[in-house]
Amino acid sequence: MEQLLVILAGLIGGISVGLQAPISGAMGQRVGGTAASFIVHFSGLLLSGLLLFLRGGEKIREWHTLPWYMLGAGVFGVILYVTMSITLPRLGGTMVITLIIIGQLTMGILVDHFGWFGVPVHPVSLGRLAGLLLLLLGGFLIARQ
């Protein structure tokens, strides 16, 4: 049952990215990519602050013990929102989500293979490579329209 809940949480995260990308991309078209990124991150800050308050602060006092690259992880969000404002009007929502997923899974395979950032090592396998190739083929087919 616990595994099912974890999978469900992952699917909810995927649905969130699937909704966030076109909304943020459209917002970027109206107010600019950097402005959209600011709005998205500000609303995320407000919700995170509320959740942190409700959870008793968790371990926020330990922030200064984090490695530098963890403190700068928000940079990737800014890059994502700015690139969505560029790609969405030219490629459409489906293609943008496809590219995001391909990029995420490719990076996930590398992170797993090398154990970067302290994640458990999961070496690249033939099955994972086949899955990535099928994903790339799917992206190609989606792009052909």
pLDDT tens-place string over residues 32-91 = 989 988 999 999 999 999 999 999 999 999 999 999 989 998 898 888 888 888 888 888
Is-contact 21 85, C-beta < 8 A? no
CB-based contacts of 139: which residues, under 8 Å, 6+ apart?
Answer: 95, 98, 99, 102
pLDDT tens-place string over residues 112-145 = 999 998 899 999 999 999 999 999 999 899 888 6
pTM for this predicted structure = 0.76
Rg over alpha carbons for the chain, rounded to the nearest Å, is: 18
